[in-house]
Chain A
């Protein structure tokens, strides 16, 4: 259901694009910092992430858009034993989490500089989470969809007429999923922007 709502919203935005005057797209490299349940499962900072966003300007200082991302978390837990009642499974444990946020975005831009635009944004959507624990050739897989709230603060720099840079910090709050937990993480994004 959540995915249908998000897809419908994205489709609406694409249709609404005809009314816009300016738009821009961006591709960002993302460094992910796990927190909460995710940090317990994979404690490492993730250097494996990407986000692709597209937005159009409703006014000179307000944009609305949509985006998709992928962040992969991994931790080698070492030799571990999982015990459940009388049964125990031991082996070297490798934990993986793939988080795929899918969202619509709104942002407000401050200042009047034509080249440097600090902004505050908020995104709403869903996050697909694939959580895996490998011991030996055994793999315990849990996955699900979480509700996503994604506040963001950033800076957009227009380097030329149609190209620029983006630097931002996002907090990806993900609601609790059964057998998965809350896979909330923060991300620092740096990427390229192209303007239409």
Chain B
């Protein structure tokens, strides 16, 4: 009798494990933060680099671009969303109001350096850093998954070698599935990042 009762107890306890995410895209998340002083209702000129740099666990200052398919998907999605705000794309040497930078990594996020963008950023000098005017983004670390970091910087606000980051977005998800499936998720998540931020709201 006791064996039957103990077995019943085991079955009951085994049944206590609840459900959870079943599909890869159910683990995607979008984090955004912004400077409370930045005027999102205004339109700006902006520049975008040709590609998304790969900073996977890298500490060197000459990062590569990520796979062209994913890089194009991210850049095109950013361009579509920024143009939808009425912003105008210009060359980085044409004095843009905003410079948008995108990086991706597929391992632990150790640190994120301005030096990685020295090849692109107009007027760059080694030793520059970031600053987040009026806010501080949650530090992201310890992931073994795909992460895209997008920063919207304002070159006119550079002071003491510090580049102001007006808006930051961290998109996180598992690197699983076909390229087309990952690109669909990238598009949807970048759209969500713009939707949950105060652009033109």
Contacts and interface: CB of A to CB of B under 8 A. Distances in A.
Interface of A: 27, 29, 47-50, 52, 70, 72-74, 76, 81, 83, 85-92, 94, 96, 134-138, 162-163, 192, 194
28 contacts: A47-B15, A49-B16, A50-B13, A52-B9, A70-B16, A73-B18, A83-B196, A86-B35, A86-B36, A87-B32, A87-B138, A88-B30, A88-B31, A88-B32, A89-B29, A90-B196, A91-B29, A91-B30, A92-B26, A94-B20, A94-B21, A135-B29, A136-B173, A137-B29, A138-B29, A163-B1, A192-B5, A192-B8
Interface string B162-180: 0000000000111000000
By secondary structure, the A interface counts as strand
A50 B32 contact: no
B192 interface: yes
A194 B8 CA distance: 14
Contacts of B15: 47-48
Contacts, number: 87
Contacts of B33: 86-88
Interface in B133-168: 135, 137-138, 143, 145
Contacts of A96: 18
A76 B9 contact: no
A87 B31 contact: yes
A137 B27 contact: yes
B106 interface: no
Question: Which 10 A-B pairs have CB atoms at the shortest separation, nearest pair first?
Answer: A136-B29, A74-B18, A91-B29, A50-B12, A87-B33, A48-B16, A90-B30, A88-B196, A92-B26, A72-B16
Given A52-B9, A92-B26, A87 B16 contact: no
Interface of B: 1-2, 5, 8-9, 12-13, 15-21, 26-36, 135, 137-138, 143, 145, 172-174, 192, 196-197
Contacts of A163: 1
Nearest to A49: B16
Given A87-B32, A89-B30, A27 B143 contact: no
Contacts of A85: 135
A190 B167 CA distance: 55
